A and B are shown apart, each in its own frame.
Chain A
Amino acid sequence: MAMSFEWPWQYCFPSFFTLQPNVDTRQKQLAAWCSLVLSFCRLHKQSSMTVMEAQESLLFNNMKLQWKLPAESIQIVLEELRKKGNLKWLDKNKSSFLIMWRRPEEWGTLIYQWVSRSGQNNSVFTLYELTNDEDTEDEKFPGQAEATLLRALQFWKSSFMSVFTSSSIMTMLSVTHHF
């Protein structure tokens, strides 16, 4: 995917880099930050990051215009993402996190749709098949870190699928018809 990242208009708006005291304004601001983080990570296929990396990244630093979102505000954005379900802390110290530009529920729905379409109902298939199926649309499965997908799958395993991890690497999934 050679598409270069298109920064949203907010990225060139100075106020974007100051946490707004007005509650309504702040809501809009944080929503914009969240969507920026997610689309950035999606494009760069980044599913995990440390806080240090985040602070240094282009994401929170507009190098051209010399604006920087302060560390405390970055924390607030990350917390907002966590509340929305797009972020998960990987350690107790909150020094690194998993970024899920698609929430597990959303993955679940997509997988189910794929399963239905490809007629894999009530069958067993591997994660490999899932991610490398030529039929799957480009953006959805390929290149996703296994961890992300597995997490998504864990979310759903009790409701409509079972996940087996065998010692021989392959992860098997079995989907039962949901209805």
Chain B
Amino acid sequence: MDRFVWTSGLLEINETLVIQQRGVRIYDGEEKIKFDAGTLLLSTHRLIWRDQKNHECCMAIPLSQIVFIEEQSAGIGKSAKIVVHLHPAPPNKELGPFQSCKNSYIKLSFKEHGQIEFYRRLSEEMTQRRWENMPVSQSFQTNRGPQPGRIRAVGIVGIERKLEEKRKETDKNISEAFEDLSKLMVKAKEMVELSKSIANKIKDKQGDITEDETIRFKSYLLSMGIANPVTRETYGSGTQYHMQLAKQLAGILQAPLEERGGIMSLTEVYCLVNRARGMELLSPEDLVNACKMLEALKLPLRLRVFDSGVMVIELQSHKEEEMVASALETVSEKGSLTSEEFAKLVGMSVLLAKERLLLAEKMGHLCRDDSVEGLRFYPNLFMTQS
């Protein structure tokens, strides 16, 4: 209860009324206090309570003080309530009805109902936090009169001054917000220049820089998304980094592959691996380069690229060609199947199911029927039937 401050109840410029409700009682924690019948007003900035009998008795809490709110439904003989949990009062808080209290929450009891709508609006204001975007002066005016430091709003001049101040405030906020961004952009530009010059140095003075440093620089470049200046065309050669990565991948992927029938699309692998790593995520390029080395390093997995361009990782022991024979059986049983139907039957992803059917077609076991209804596969009767 010590968070409340006395107020005149007048709204500030930028502050708008959202909703109000009569017949609200305030509880300090669980205790009833003397504020038993008032009008509760919600503005974009504050929660204001004014005594119904004595309009001079008016107090408010800034919405920024609210941690969270809860609903308490009505019971027999009890009205519905909203429980408002509060931050501790700031040290420079102005005078209010209580100087100190032990409870960190208050309850608002809606004796004349209206709690549902009020709760909804209050939640909205809490989410939108409009008081952050529309600053009003630090201290709300109390019934003591205007505080020093505030601009006096007198006549047209006063209004103009207020508008000017508002504009400056907005400007300042925007500039502050973008300051960080422009600093970042400046830094980014510097970094890009730096990496470009390093890349050039690497290109020119191959001999002067050690292999290790080169690798490190290259991995920095890669992680920043800058293309490797020294391209490696061949499949077989690769950096130490990729080799190590390949070995690591072989370890991570063994079990998941076995679970999924020995084959996974590269995108699935990418997601799985990065999820497992958490930090220091792999770029897609790194993953592909590492996978290209799997076979060369005689690891138990290999990268396979289908004709359609789809890339998969499969266990060495996995024989896709053999799976084709069982696919043919399945298709023959059902007469014909689309990739989706096949995927569902066998329990595979549609992507891999399609690849398997296409492979079967390539091997001459299936033929296709391409119509507006979609792509359907049949056993290849052209070959089997004379």
A contact set with B: CB distance below 8 Å: 9-10, 13-15, 17-18, 20-22, 24-25, 28-29, 32, 67
Contact = CB atoms under 8 A, between A and B. Distances in A.
B368 A20 contact: yes
Contacts of A28: 382-383
Which of B371, B376, B383, B385 neighbours the largest number of chain A CB atoms within 10 Å of its CB? B371
Nearest to A67: B371
10 contacts: A13-B381, A14-B371, A15-B367, A15-B369, A17-B369, A18-B367, A18-B371, A20-B367, A22-B380, A32-B382
B362 interface: yes
A47 B364 CA distance: 35
Contact of B383 (A10, A13, A17, A25): A25
A101 B382 CA distance: 23
Nearest to B375: A18
B367 A25 contact: yes
Given A22-B364, A22-B367, A25-B367, A14 B383 contact: no
Please classify how large the interface on chain B is, using the bins under 10, 10 to 19, 20 to 34, 35 or more: 10 to 19
B378 A25 contact: no
A18 B370 contact: yes
Contacts of B370: 18
B236 to A, nearest CB: 31
Contacts of A14: 336, 369, 371, 376, 378
Given A13-B381, A14-B336, A20-B368, 18 more contacts: A9-B381, A10-B381, A14-B369, A14-B378, A15-B367, A17-B369, A18-B367, A18-B370, A21-B368, A22-B361, A22-B380, A24-B383, A25-B364, A25-B367, A25-B382, A28-B383, A29-B367, A67-B371
A22 B358 CA distance: 10
Interface in B336-386: 336, 361-362, 364, 367-371, 376, 378, 380-383, 385
A32 B371 CA distance: 20
Contact of A24 (B364, B369, B371): B364
Contact of A22 (B336, B362, B369, B378): B362
Given A24-B364, A25-B364, A9 B385 contact: yes
The 7 residue pairs across chains A and B that have the minimum distance between CB atoms: A28-B382, A14-B369, A15-B367, A18-B370, A15-B369, A15-B378, A18-B369
Nearest to A15: B367
